Amino acid sequence: MNNLFSLDTIAAVATALSDSGIGIVRISGPEAIEIADKVFCTKSGKKKLKNVDSHTIHYGYIVDFKDENEILSEGWQDCIVDEVMVAVMRAPKSYTMEDTVEINCHGGVLVMQKILETVLKHGARLAQPGEFTKRAFLNGRIDLSKAEAVIDVIHSQNEFALQSSMNQLQGNLSKEVKNLREEIIYEIAFIESALDDPEHISLDGYKDKLDEKVSNLSDRVEKLLSTADNGRLMKEGISTVIVGKPNAGKSSLLNIMVGEERAIVTDIAGTTRDVLQESIKLHGIGLNIIDTAGIRTTEDVVEKIGVEKAKKYANEADLILYVVDASVALDDSDREIITLLENKNVIILLNKSDLTAAVEESDLIQVIDELVPGHKKIEMIRTSTKDNTGIDAFENAIKEMFFKGNLKNNNQIVITNMRHKEALKNAYDSLQMVKRSLADDMPEDFYSIDLMSAYSSLGFIIGEEVDDDLVNEIFTKFCMGK
């Protein structure tokens, strides 16, 4: 896809606008090198970027001339803004596939802004958020799924999210989508050709072949879709709620997981009145943890509000950590908590294992089976927040529950973008319509219509079937200079 409309030259600070060792001001467009030549001088005072080879770097100064003739005067050094290294990348071998110049300067906010102002004064315009990556997309260097992976890499909050985004950036998803589309368009072309020229192209026996092909395509799309829920957890983190009776050790557990005293811990039951939220990482897994008020019957108005909040958050959670005081027999409060576990991923921590046990695993299983028949598999681990025991087993249980114990698979495609999930769902539904038409022995042109719908839905992922408004919306989420 050629971008015929980006005939201007853009510039922006490509690094964070905060004091640092090095900053980068990026220029891209047809006049990038010419504009850079207007503001760059070598130590000898001679400008020469227009004559240099691509992918070379040059030492010199950024100068803010008030008059072009100042370059010839002896006092030109008075116009120096900063001492820099300038990299020149000629089209099409650059990120944007346009002439690109990157000015590597000192990383002070003031000096970066001054250099940018100087570049803008000499003919560039300020880039919009994400415009460099948008040009890379419009000029055909990357497709839309790779462009979205760029921002996912920047915003990755854990190791697995970063790895998944890098796989997408390297084209794993794009390659599979393009392969699917090629196979679908082949079948569409065959059907259309046969309908146009039945004397020379026969459709005898084709329905069985198409049924087998569509089954294969459906399975591959469904496999991608099956990763979407885990993809969301990788990208956003597992929404985790800690519940239990007052003084069971919930806040102590949170403090151990966070690694600091974030929650107040006392021997007084009901110390936690409101929710406390923290985000942590366990071996690459992101957990968005909510510590809630202890659940019990109470007449205290404030504590009662906290209990209701605890129930609400438990209902919305991806994972419930049910902390049981194993030194105290189960009671009505425990039975009330257990009713919240229906259809949830649950890890039960039998806490205070350093004390004499009053609750056994079998006791809990009996009550859970009674109150929540048909519940999901529930992990039980004996822990002691006092002695910090059982925590490793707890971390491994989370990995096994959500990721089957495997957090690293460099070749696996994982769907982390909800736009991609929706497009895959639409493609899958269209392929199922083809299957239904085949089963009902419908005319061949029905197959072609639904195959084309699947083809278009898949194209939505890589940017082949999107309008300008969506493209603009996607790139507005990027930071300036990317």
Q: How confident is the model at residue 455 (pLDDT cuts 50, 70, 90)?
A: very high
How many Å apart are CA 341 and CA 355, to the nearest integer?
26
The residue-averaged pLDDT of 84-104 equals 95
Class of domain 235-403: alpha beta
Q: What is the pLDDT of residue 268?
A: 38
Q: What is the pLDDT of residue 352?
A: 84
* Percent of the chain clearing pLDDT 90 (strictly above): 33
Q: How confident is the model at residue 169 (pLDDT cuts 50, 70, 90)?
A: confident
Q: What is the pLDDT of residue 66?
A: 65
Q: What is the pLDDT of residue 258?
A: 63
Q: How many Å from the N-terminal Cα to the C-terminal Cα in the chain?
A: 20
Which segment, 236-245, 304-313, 405-414, is predicted with the most confidence on average? 236-245
Is it true that 157-227+415-463 and 235-403 share their CATH fold?
no
The residue-averaged pLDDT of 218-233 equals 83
Q: How confident is the model at residue 144 (pLDDT cuts 50, 70, 90)?
A: confident
Q: What is the pLDDT of residue 31?
A: 95
376 or 111, which is more confident? 111
Of 16-25, 37-46, 277-286, 375-384, the one with minimum mean pLDDT is 277-286
407 or 57, which is more confident? 57
Each residue's pLDDT tens digit, 311-368: 788 888 888 888 888 888 888 888 888 888 888 888 888 888 778 888 888 888 888 8
Cα–Cα distances (Å) from 386 to 221, 318, 389, in that order, read: 48, 27, 8
How many Å apart are CA 463 and CA 460, to the nearest integer?
5
Q: What is the pLDDT of residue 205?
A: 87
Q: Render the burial of 323-342: b for 16+ CB within 10 Å, e for the rest.
A: bbbbbeebeebbebbbebbe
pLDDT of 4 strictly over 50: no
Q: What homologous superfamily does CATH list for 157-227+415-463?
A: tRNA modification GTPase MnmE domain 2 (1.20.120.430)
Q: What is the pLDDT of residue 67?
A: 60
- What one-letter code names the amino acid at 68? E
Q: What is the pLDDT of residue 65?
A: 72
Each residue's pLDDT tens digit, 392-445: 787 788 777 776 644 444 456 778 788 899 999 999 999 999 999 999 989 888
The alpha carbon of 360 is separated from its chain's Cα centroid by a whole number of angstroms, namely 41
Q: What is the pLDDT of residue 263?
A: 42
Query: Whose CA is closest to 459, among 211, 215, 188?
Result: 188
Element (H, E) at 63: strand 56-63
Each residue's pLDDT tens digit, 5-20: 457 999 999 998 888 8
Query: Whose CA is closest to 417, among 200, 146, 102, 12?
Result: 146
Q: What homologous superfamily does CATH list for 10-143?
A: Probable tRNA modification gtpase trme; domain 1 (3.30.1360.120)
Q: What is the mean pLDDT of the chain?
A: 81
Q: What is the pLDDT of residue 378?
A: 84
Q: How confident is the model at residue 243 (pLDDT cuts 50, 70, 90)?
A: confident
Q: How many CB atoms lie within 10 A of CB 17?
A: 15
Which segment, 39-48, 178-187, 247-256, 462-471, is predicted with the most confidence on average? 178-187
Query: Whose CA is closest to 343, among 368, 366, 310?
Result: 368
Q: How many CB atoms lie within 10 A of CB 162?
A: 18
Domain boundaries, the chain: 10-143, 157-227+415-463, 235-403
Q: Check residue 202 and report its DSSP letter.
A: -
